Structure 1
Amino acid sequence: MMMGMIMSGVQLMEMLPFSVMVVMEGCTIILTIWAKTAMTDYDMSPFVFVVYTHVLSSIILLLSTFVFNCRSRSATHPSLFSFGLFVRCFLLGLTGIAVSQNLAFLGLSYSSPILVCAMGLMLPTFSFLLSVILKRTNADWRSPTFQAKVLGTVISIMGAVIVELYKGPYIRPSSVLSSSSYMVLFQKAGQYLKFSSSATEHWVLGGLLLVGASISVSVWNIIQMGTMKLYPEVEVMEVVSYYSLLGTIQCVIFSLFIEKSLSAWKIKLNMDLLLIVLTACFAGLVRSHVHNWCMKLKGIHYVPKFKPFGIVFATIFGVSLSANNLHYGSVLGAVLTGVGYFTIMWGQIREDDENKDQRHLDSTNSEAKVPLLEEDVGV
């Protein structure tokens, strides 16, 4: 009986990260659909939405990081306010928040959540291309991992082109689904969670803006990895809080030049305010800590594996909410992009495993040589 309880506990711990990550992706899509509705139906400016969301998110991050973690900070840690770290955090805020978030939500206002999912899956593709261009990755065509990354890049680009240029017919909910009880519940929620309601969409422009957002995030990833290598003693959440604050300030300055009308900055005490609060709490507190916990528990490649779940949720919610811009071509292209995404991820995981095995082998060989060297010295 004791063994059964132990096995049940182990299975629960295995299922818990999986379940949590699936819920995280579902919540992300719901908030994305809600934001699309607010910007399309209720004329909320995407720039204003980004500013208010990140102002609140930065406050939450600063409180959770510097108030609750200040005791764990030692005197040996480098100052967060050093010039080198300031420049890197400024660039992290610029690429990871100011540029990427404004482009992403502006692209969302012109397109749909499933296009956001598809272009989000292009992150490994752009990261791989940038690493090759910057010569951070050796172009070894004989390596199976490099070949997998190239193949995944080609597949992802093909999927993105299909999503961008070919919509296909609309996906409509069936009459059986429309009469079901859960469909009635979804239709009641449709007032605030309309998958899309705009008949005139700038689909191509929205896709290009989302591509720009993904490229910006890819640059942000490169800067972030370099920052962590240069400042390994600094807590990750401290860096996140620091660049989030700088990125928010950049968003405020940028948005004040775009949205000069005071009426655009007025947020009524309605569902739009609730959307801002929930998005800020989710992005600033819940998602960052959950992702950090899952990566510590299951490894750095665990969290990215769940990103394609967004396509599944976007399709389900799109059909359930009587979408008028959910197309077969969009779903087909998004799925193809997801295949490319997993192919690149497989190549990256294999490459990391090979590098880890090589480092372990080098370490073993060096340890084996030490006694021989000591014996030679003794002689």
Structure 2
Amino acid sequence: MGGGCRLGEAAPFTVMVMMEGCTIALTIMAKTAMSRGMSPFVFVVYTNALGTLLLLPYSFFLHRERAEQPLFTLPLFLRFFFLGFTGIALSQNLAFLGLSYSSPIVVCVMGLLTPAFSFILSLVLRKSKVEWRRSSFQFKVIGTLVTVMGAISVVIYKGPYIRPSSSSQELQHSKHQLFVFYSAPDNWILGCILLAASFFCVSLWNIIQLDTIKHYPQVMKIASFYSLAGTIQCAIFSLIVERNLNAWRFKLNMELLLIVITAIFGSVVRSSVQISFTRMKGPFYAPLFQPFRVFWATFFGVSFFVNGLHYGSVIGAVISGAGYYTVTWGRMREDEGQEESVKSSDEKIPLLQEDSEV
């Protein structure tokens, strides 16, 4: 009996850790492909377009939840528009650009700011009350400050190399410098700011989607329609920015395979796994594994891909990770106090996006 319980706990843990590893591996592979000439704007459009084509039939045929509210209404269309705008069009393009000036581990560190941004936005938008006497509120304030301190330390202190990139000199003279894995000193701060802005958009997206689920608690259908809206927005933007028609042509190579795998993994596999574990373990289970991306980004970046690793980035990641878990602990304490007032567990299941594939 005890062995079965241990296996029941170990299996979801192992799956979630591996899912984070796959996410980072695909992210780094995508950026590596872009360093060889693949347009990041085209990649975003094609990945989201294929993901939408997979999500639409998947959400309607395999997720047949009962709908209390009609799907095709103007308020929901507006929500889909803003979900696609914040969760795909803005966040993914900012993330791609920010990564070009920084490194994978910095992307992970800035991603840990998401719950802190969400907490700040909830206060600004008056969705949460200022309750200094509550321990949950104190945890969230302390965690937010610690996470921000970790992010700032990454911005202002790079420190010496733990392991320098073996081909950093070649990359600095590369023709496609904008999309190559190296840390350009002059643009390091700009890259960090762009990444922070990307995950601020993700936090704003979180607030919009949680409120959307309250009105229409069909997670996969909402995901498919906001994915469609975001794809259209990205396509319009990318057609303006990327005018080279050759960049839009399909080629039967590893880049096309990467697009297909990324779309399938992000739109169906990871979303289904995270939603299943959220229903099984609660709304905070899946987010607890996000700091594991720091480990995977370091492991993949140093072992297999062109990427230097700084002491400052690792120190900042550790600080931000501690702050991330502190904010999450505060949210869990608050959720326990409000558990009796929750009407439906479906309201607590977050929509799952690609996190900009970063």
Structure 1 counterpart SS, 2:162: coil
Q: Aligned equivalents of 1:56 and 1:89: distance in 2?
A: 18
Q: CA deviation at 1:115?
A: 0.9
Partner of 1:98: 89
Runs of 4+ in 1 over 6 A off after TM superposition: none
Residues 305-331 of structure 1: CA distance to partner in whole angstroms, max 9, x if unpaired? Answer: 000001111122233237543211111
Q: CA deviation at 1:73?
A: 5.2
Among 54, 71, 74, which residue is 2:48 paired with? 54
Among 132, 156, 161, which residue is 1:165 paired with? 156
Contact preservation (8 Å) 2:143, 2:326: yes
Q: How does 1:273-352 map to 2 (within 5 A)?
A: 273-321=256-304, 323-352=306-335
Contact preservation (8 Å) 2:97, 2:194: yes
Partner of 2:235: 252
User: Which amino acid letter does the alignment assign opposite residue 192 of structure 2?
Assistant: G
Q: CA deviation at 1:134?
A: 1.0
User: Which amino acid letter does the alignment assign opposite residue 67 of structure 1?
Assistant: F
TM-score computed with the length of structure 1 as normaliser:
0.82
Residues 84-117 of structure 1: CA distance to partner in whole angstroms, max 9, x if unpaired? Answer: 1111111111111111111112222222111110
1:39 aligns with 2:34: yes
Q: Aligned equivalents of 1:142 and 1:200: distance in 2?
A: 45
Range moving further from structure 2, 284-293 or 318-327: 318-327
Q: What value does the CA root-mean-square deviation take over the aligned residues?
A: 2.0
Q: Aligned equivalents of 1:73 and 1:295: distance in 2?
A: 17
Q: Aligned equivalents of 1:116 and 1:197: distance in 2?
A: 12
Q: CA deviation at 1:216?
A: 0.6
Partner of 2:351: none
Partner of 1:116: 107
Contact preservation (8 Å) 1:170, 1:328: yes
Structure 2: tracts of 5 or more residues without a match: 165-178, 343-358
Contact preservation (8 Å) 1:39, 1:109: no
Partner of 1:373: none
Partner of 2:8: 13
Partner of 2:62: 68
Residues 221-253 of structure 1: CA distance to partner in whole angstroms, max 9, x if unpaired? Answer: 111111111223xx2111111111111111101
Contact preservation (8 Å) 1:112, 1:196: no
Q: Aligned equivalents of 1:43 and 1:313: distance in 2?
A: 25
**Change over 3 Å in CA distance of 1:199–1:310 after alignment to 2:** closer
User: Which amino acid letter does the alignment assign opposite residue 127 of structure 1?
Assistant: S
Contact preservation (8 Å) 2:12, 2:277: yes
Among 198, 208, 211, which residue is 2:196 paired with? 211
Structure 2 counterpart SS, 1:171: strand
Q: Aligned equivalents of 2:304 and 2:160: distance in 1?
A: 17
Task: Name which one, 1 or 2, has greater alpha-carbon Rg.
Answer: 1
Structure 1: tracts of 5 or more residues without a match: 1-5, 174-194, 361-379
Q: CA deviation at 1:197?
A: 4.6
Residues 241-278 of structure 1: CA distance to partner in whole angstroms, max 9, x if unpaired? Answer: 11111111111011111111112223432221121111
1:236 aligns with 2:219: yes
Residue-pair matches, total:
327
Q: Aligned equivalents of 2:125 and 2:278: distance in 1?
A: 27
Q: CA deviation at 1:43?
A: 2.0
Residues 324-370 of structure 1: CA distance to partner in whole angstroms, max 9, x if unpaired? Answer: 4321111111111111100100111011112226x49xxxxxxxxxx
**Change over 3 Å in CA distance of 1:199–1:205 after alignment to 2:** closer
Structure 2 counterpart SS, 1:301: coil
